[in-house]
Chain A
């Protein structure tokens, strides 16, 4: 295992790929690995790309990669596609649009299924970011599923969030999914070759101007990702946002929040696994369930009694 991590730090692509699998599969050694990797993280800038299915996220990522490479930046891409709730399988097809970069040694692309997670990313996306960060990638691009129940995942994960909208169907901005306006650092109106694009951009701009007190006013960038139009402007906007994040101190704030959330999650995880390990060792949960089903016990006092039998300070996890 140590071997894998040192190979990762030496830039071995197979090691990076294997480590992502290990965290994604919840390998028993996952926490140990992440612990070893952690000191080497914190250098990558994370850019999220979200938007409705088919809005052109993958095509945009493909073009953005060209801009990033022109600036000699190394890039990791994590592209998330939905896992079928019925079979547990998935078709991960985002790479189709990124094939031009398949042989670029400074780009590492990884596809992930949501595997039951509902927020537009998979549970392991953040851990995969850590692997690619330690791997030395300057920029990490995340393509979300875009049908998440909430887009909270991506805002909590990315330093800059791009929301991709399209003029398709003449959708008015009023019909845009609630919550999407709030999360964008940059709006992309992709498929601007289609009718209605200008109106869409105008409407977004009007809505943004109504709340003009925000320190960062998201730009609205029209693009045609099948024709490489607007991509340079888009990349400039991302760089502007990054500069704003860094110079205003906002980047440090959001990263602090992220770490604080991670710490809370880790504590909760440890407490939970510590408690359950003991509960399973000492108490026959099935018997209790039987009693509750038969109304000999109620779940509220049963839970309380369970906790009383636990030695919180006993063994380590």
Chain B
């Protein structure tokens, strides 16, 4: 009877200027059967967390090209936790050095980090695998 669909918020926090990459990822996620809530550019961490709450998403995907990932990601993670959304998978995509990625994951802020070289089906595959 139950017909759960995985819902993913694709958000662009921070000040970067374009969202081409995020749109491509959003489309790939839709084509993989996910429900993608897309909110456009220039989201504050507060907006991201509040949208995740109202939309009751299972995954938050952050696209960050501005270099501000080390402040944005932990901040958003903290707000999600404050909202009682500790189960939410937090995935980050962007130009993120390996050391930073490791730190984000080990610090418990992000579940997984993808970089521009990663093929799309790696992203969709990872998310699918987390909800099997």
Q: Residues on A close to B: CB < 8 A?
A: 13-14, 16-18, 20-21, 25-28, 83-84, 86-93, 95-96, 99, 102-103, 108-111, 113, 115
Contact = CB atoms under 8 A, between A and B. Distances in A.
A108 B54 contact: yes
A31 to B, nearest CB: 11
B56 to A, nearest CB: 4
Given A18-B56, A88-B33, A90-B30, A28 B1 contact: yes
Interface string B8-51: 00000000000000000011011111111111100100110011
A25 B27 contact: no
A25 B7 CA distance: 11
A300 B55 CA distance: 46
A28 B85 CA distance: 23
Contacts, number: 90
B56 A21 contact: yes
Contact of A91 (B27, B50, B51, B83): B27
Contacts of A87: 30-33
A14 B47 contact: no
Contacts of A109: 51, 54
A95 B51 contact: yes
**B39, B40, B53 pick with most chain A CB within 10 angstroms:** B39
B4 interface: yes
Contact of A96 (B7, B36, B40): B40
Contacts of A16: 54
Given A88-B5, A89-B35, A96-B39, A103 B46 contact: yes
B84 interface: yes
A193 B36 CA distance: 32
Nearest to B47: A102
